[in-house]
Amino acid sequence: MKPKKLIPALLLASALPTLATPFSSCPDEAFLIQDKYAQLYGIQLSTGFYQNVAPTEWTDMELNALAFNTHDQYLYAYNDKLRAIVKIDAEYRTELLFPSDLPDHDFIAGDIAVAENAYYVYRKGSDKGLYRISLDPTAADFLKASQVITGKAFELDIFDLSFHPYDGMAYTVDKDGDLWKINVATATAINVGNTGVNGYFGGTYFDINGNLYIANNSDGYIYRIDTQQPTPKAELFSYGPSSSNNDGARCPLAPVNVSEVPDTDFGSAPDSYGTSFANNGARHGRGDGTLYLGEAVNYEPDAYLEGGASATEQNDGVALINNIAPYRYTYFEVTASAKGELNIWGDWNQNGVFDDDEQVISDKTIDAGKHLIHFKAPKETLLGETWLRVRLSSPDHVTATGGVADGEVEDYKVTVEAADTLTTFYPGANRYATLAFEDNWPLTGDYDMNDVVIKYNIKTVTVADNIASIKISGHVAAMGASYHNGFAFRIPGLPTSGINSLATTLTVNGFLQPYSPVEPERRDATVIIAQDLQDYVTSGEACKYYRTEDGCGSGIQMSFEINIPVSGAIKADDIDEFPFDPFLFATEGYERNYVFGEAPGRRFEIHLKDKAPTEAFQQNFFGRGDDASDPARDEYFVNENGMPWALNIPYDWNHPLEYMDIKWAYPQFHEHVTSSGTSNKGWYKKSNARSKNIFRK
C-alpha cells in the first residue's frame, strides 16, 4: 500500500468543520513546515525548541509557502500536489481553497501581508514569478491570482519571505546572504546588503520589533537580523531542526520572548512515567553546570516525548553490557562528569510507571569518570521491551519524578530477555552498515555509488538455537538519482510460512504503518520497506538530489524499523549470513532505461553481487544491457568485468559526491578489488577517503 493513495480520504477526514477555530490571538510561537509529506512543527525561536504539532494524517500533505494571516488568525500554505491553498485552523484541521489564474507550478516562498489580506507566493523562473492572491472573502478578486512581477525580471534564490510588521515591505535573505526588501505594491526590490551568512533559508519570521529571523535548512541554525539597522547583520540566535524543505510562518505582531532560555533537563520516556513538566516529570536544573551523565547535557523548555519531534537527548551516560534478564546481574557502564548520587529505576512489571519498589540502584555515590556497576532485576520481571530511568544529582533521596536542582536524567528503552538468548548484531550493537546502489542496472552507471544509499543495522535474537526475532533498522542516507525505487530485504533460509506476517511491523519515521510489510507470494521471507523511496525523501530546494551534493545536507527524511517475530522452529544456522539479501526493485508505473519496453515494476530487481533475485524477477532481463549474469553458475547482477551494481560495507560509510567515481573518493578501492579483497581491507574507512570527494554531514 502506498501512503500517497490515502490522500483524498485523509483530507476529508481532517477538513475544516463549518465552525473552524482560528488561533485565539497572535501566537508568539513560530511554525515550520518540513519534509516531503509535510510535518508541521511549532518552534520557539528563542530556544530552537520544536514539537510536531500536526496530526499524523498530515504525513500525506505536500505543503510549502506557509503563512500566518493576521486578518483572520489562520495559517495558510500552498499544497504543491493539489495546486490548492490550504487553510489551517488552531486545531490543525484543514480546508482546501482553489485559486484561479495561478500558473501550474510549485511555489516555495510565501507570506500574507499585514497591510492587506492578500497572500503572496513566489518562485523564480521566466514562466513563474511573484503572485498576489486575495484572501478577503468580501473582495471582488477573492482567490483570484494576479502576477505582480515575472520570475525573470525578479530572479532571486530565496526559499521564504516575510512581511514586516509595520513598514509594509516583504523581506527575505537569498542564498548568498543578501537581505532583500520587496515592495509588492510597486513590484520593486532593494538589496539592503549582505548579512554575513549564506545558505538556504527556508524559514523566515518577523517579530513586532522588526527583527527578521532566518532558519538555515541544512543545519537548522536560526539567525536574527535587525532590519532597522542601516547595515543589518545576522547573529546566531538558536538551534532549530534541519531539513531540505523548510517553510516558516509566524504572526509578525508578536514579540519573541528571549527570557525563555531553557535551563532544565527532562527525560524522554512516555509521559505515563512522569516525564513532561505538566506531569511533574523528572527534571534537573542547570545547577553550577558541572554535574551530568556522559559527555554533555541538553536543556529543554519541556520534555521531547517519545513519538513526538525527533529527540535531541544526550543519552550517553549509561551503556548496558549484558542483557537484562530476570534475577540475573546486569552490568552497565556509567559515566559521570563529577561526584553525584546515582539512582536507577526499571519498569519491571511493564505497567507504565516506575513503582517505588522497582528501584534497582539507590543513592550510589559515584565520582567523576567511568564506572562498571551492576544491578539485579527482580525475579518477577516480565520479558519484552520496557523503560529504564537513570538520574544523577547532588541531592540524594531523589524519586523517579519531580525536579532536582542539578544533574541529569536519561531514559532508556530496554529489552528484558530470557536467560538463554543469544543476540547477534550487524555490523555492531549500535553501528550502521551501508548499502550503496547504482540503480542504472542493467546499464553501467557512473559508479558514484550514491544512487540509493541506505544505512542499516540488523539484530537477531536466538533462543535455544532457534531464531526468535529479527530487527532491521536504518535510514535512507542519500538518493543521487531520479529513478523510482522500492527497497526490501529478503531473508534467505527463513520461509515466509515461518514468520508471523501479521505481527511483523514496519515503522517509518516513528509511525507504525497500518499494514504488514511482508510480501505474501515469496518463498523466503521478504519485507518491503518502501514501494517508492521517493514517497519519503526529496532533494529539496536548490538541490538536484537528496544528500549527494555539497551544501545539500538535509536532515534524514526517512528512517525505518522492521520487526519480524519468527514463530516456527527455524534454526539460526539455516538462515543466510548477514546482511541477508537487501535489494532494490522498480516502483510500479515508472519507466526505467531503454532496455525495457515498458515500466518493469516489481519484475525489476538489483541485488548484491551473486545474490539470486526473488521469484518476482523476470529472468529474461538477465543479459540485457551491460548485465553479464549467468544463473547457471550462480553469478548474478554483475557486468562482464565482474563488477556489481551494489556494495555492502560493514561501516557507516561516507558515500562519494554526485558524479564522483568511487575510485577518486576511495583511492584504495581498486587495489582492494584487484587483490581479491586481500589488501587494503579498510579501504572504506573515512581515514582512507579523499575527504573533498565524499559527502560529509
Residues 129-146 as b/e (b if ≥16 CB within 10 A, e otherwise) read bbbbbbbeeeeeeebebe
In the complex, least distance from residue 610 CB atom to other proteins, rounded to whole angstroms: 5
| Options 43, 108, 293, 436; binder of other proteins; rule CB under 8 A | 108
Between CA 83 and CA 108 the distance in angstroms is 12
- Compute the least distance from the CB of residue 324 to other proteins, in Å: 11
Interface of this chain with other proteins, residues 245 to 264, rule: CB under 8 A: 245
* Part in contact with other proteins (CB under 8 A); list of ranges 84-92, 424-432, 498-506, 554-562: 424-432
**Residues 2, 544, 571, 686: which binds other proteins (CB under 8 A)?**
544
Q: Cβ(332)–Cβ(371) under 8 Å?
A: no
In 113-144, the DSSP E strands lie at 118-123, 125-134
Residues 598-617 that bind other proteins (CB under 8 A): 608-610
Binding mask 323-342 for other proteins (x = CB under 8 A): x-x--xx-x-x---------
DSSP string, 427-477: S-TT--EEEEE-TTTTS-----S-SEEEEEEEEEEEETTEEEEEEEEEEEE
| Sole binder of other proteins in the list 6, 21, 81, 279 (CB under 8 A) | 81
451 binds other proteins (CB under 8 A): yes
Q: How many CB atoms lie within 10 A of CB 60?
A: 20
Stretch that binds other proteins, among 18-26, 136-144, 395-403, 653-661 (CB under 8 A): 653-661
Residue among 252, 427, 517, 582 that touches other proteins (CB under 8 A):
427
| Residue 498, phi then psi, degrees to nearest 5 | -90, -5
Closest CA to 275 of 242, 311, 240: 311
Residues 497-536: x where in contact with other proteins by CB under 8 A, - otherwise, as a string: -------------------------------------x--
Footprint on residues 8-37 left by other proteins (CB under 8 A): 36
For position 650 contacting other proteins by CB under 8 A, the verdict is yes
Cell of 437: 546502489
- Least spacing, CB of residue 548 vs other proteins, in Å: 8
> Could you say whether residue 571 binds other proteins (CB under 8 A)?
no
Among 439, 524, 561, 627, binds other proteins (CB under 8 A): 439
Q: Does residue 673 bind other proteins (CB under 8 A)?
A: yes
Q: Is 24 left (phi over 0), alpha (psi -120 to 50) or beta?
A: alpha
Concatenating the DSSP letter of every residue in 537-593 gives ----TT-SSBS-STT--PPP--EEEEEEEB-S--BGGGSPPTT-EEEEEEPTT----
CA-closest candidate to residue 106, choices 85, 77, 87, 79: 79
Chosen residue from 62, 89, 561, 581 binding other proteins by CB under 8 A:
62
Question: Minimum distance between the CB of residue 495 and other proteins, rounded to whole angstroms?
Answer: 21
Applying CB under 8 A, among 538, 587, 629, 654 the residue interacting with other proteins is 538
Q: How many chain residues bind other proteins (CB under 8 A)?
A: 105
Interface pick for other proteins out of 307, 428, 568, 623 (rule CB under 8 A):
428
* Residues 459-488 within binding reach of other proteins (CB under 8 A): 480-483
Residue 434 and residue 477 in contact, taking contact as beta carbons nearer than 8 Å = yes
Applying CB under 8 A, the span of 45-53, 215-223, 558-566, 672-680 interacting with other proteins comes to: 672-680
Which of 76, 213, 447, 536 lies at the binding interface for other proteins (CB under 8 A)? 447
DSSP 603: G
Q: Of 7 and 320, which CB lies nearer to other proteins in the complex structure?
A: 320
Q: How far is the CB of 231 from other proteins (least distance, A)?
A: 33
User: Can you tell me the distance from the alpha carbon of 282 to that of 269, in angstroms, rounded to the nearest whole number?
Assistant: 10
Nearest CB to other proteins, comparing residues 269 and 584? 584
Task: Please report how many Cα atoms fall inside a 13 Å half-sphere around the Cα of residue 619, on the Cβ side.
Answer: 5
x/- track of binding to other proteins for residues 294-323 (CB under 8 A): -------------------------xxxxx
Answer yes or no: are the C-beta atoms of 75 and 119 closer than 8 Å.
no
| Spatial contact of 324 and 381, defined as CB atoms under 8 Å apart | yes
In angstroms, what is the minimal distance from the CB of 566 to other proteins?
Answer: 17
CB-based contact 61:75 (threshold 8 Å): no
Q: In the complex, what is the shortest distance from the CB of residue 448 to other proteins, in angstroms, rounded to a whole number?
A: 5
